[in-house]
Each structure stands twice: as structure tokens, then as C-alpha cells.
């Protein structure tokens, strides 16, 4: 029986829920660990001193047992609230480098943004439920992070 297990005659099924949220933010790709010349070589036009912006699309996926009583893995209202607190309030319409302390000494790449979101989402939901953070920086650039 794939994706299910028996527990005292009750079938335990595991499922995944993904909620999608969009937000806008600007940043400058720049590493304090590189010289200005090396930053231009590594990040190119994305190292523009005035920054640039994105309309990010984030997919937050949780994994868990489907409750036999409620039929849910997690109440979507709770997931929506967590996303509001972890993503929307601190990141939407912000300058990642100037408004989000996490990026003071860390380059605000989409990879690091995924780690930031993971680290904060994992604190906001039940243990071992967060499965994946997927960020669409553009239609062609997508980052996936699973806490590894």
C-alpha cells in the first residue's frame, strides 16, 4: 500500500499541501566577501548599485499525515497565516538588503532567500511538516530548498 500505513486498523495516509504566494521586493546582488570588481564579474548587471526588483512567486509545501477525522494535513488557514507572518510582512515591497537584517552580511540571492524563508517557516509550523520552499524569481529561474 504505497503512501499509506496501517495503525490499529486505521489507514494513515501521507499527503502534501502547497500554497502559492507572490510578493515584490528589490535587492542588489553583492557579496561583502568579494571586491567591487569581483562582484561585477560574478553578478554582472544584477550588481547595479541601485538594485533591481522581482515579482517573486513562492510555493510553500508541507507534508504530513492526512487526519482521519478532519481529512486535512494542516488547516490551510493556519498555513496562510504563517506565510503572511514569515513572507509577506517582512519581505513584500521591501529592499531585501536594507530592510531584512538577515541579508546584512549574506548576499540576497534567491538561494539565500529560500534558506531565509525555510528557517523562519520551520519555526512557524508544526515540527517535521515543512517539505519544500520553491521560489520563482523569474519565469525561467526557480530555486528549490528542502532544508538540506
Give catalytic residue positions.
Answer: 46, 93, 137
Cα separation, 117 vs 28, in Å, equals: 18
Cα separation, 134 vs 147, in Å, equals: 11
Residue 28 carries which DSSP code? Answer: -
Cα separation, 73 vs 52, in Å, equals: 38
Of 70, 57, 98, the C-alpha closest to 13 is 70
Cα separation, 29 vs 40, in Å, equals: 9
Of 5, 116, 16, 7, the C-alpha closest to 64 is 16
Residue ranges of alpha helices (H) inside 8-75 are 36-43
Amino acid at each position: 500500500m504505497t503512501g499509506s500505513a496501517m495503525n490499529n486498523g486505521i489507514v494513515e495516509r501521507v499527503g502534501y499541501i502547497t500554497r502559492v504566494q507572490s510578493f515584490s521586493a528589490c535587492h542588489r546582488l553583492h557579496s561583502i566577501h568579494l571586491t567591487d570588481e569581483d562582484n561585477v564579474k560574478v553578478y554582472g548587471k544584477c550588481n547595479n548599485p541601485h538594485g533591481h526588483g522581482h515579482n517573486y512567486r513562492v510555493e510553500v509545501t508541507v507534508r504530513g499525515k492526512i487526519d482521519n477525522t478532519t481529512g486535512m494535513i494542516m488547516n490551510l488557514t493556519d498555513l496562510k497565516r504563517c506565510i503572511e507572518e514569515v513572507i509577506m510582512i517582512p519581505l513584500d515591497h521591501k529592499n531585501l538588503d536594507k530592510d531584512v537584517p538577515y541579508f546584512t552580511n549574506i548576499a540576497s540571492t534567491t538561494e539565500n532567500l529560500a534558506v531565509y524563508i525555510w528557517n523562519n517557516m520551520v519555526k512557524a509550523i508544526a515540527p517535521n511538516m515543512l517539505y519544500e520552499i520553491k521560489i520563482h524569481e523569474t519565469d525561467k529561474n526557480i530555486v528549490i530548498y528542502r532544508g538540506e
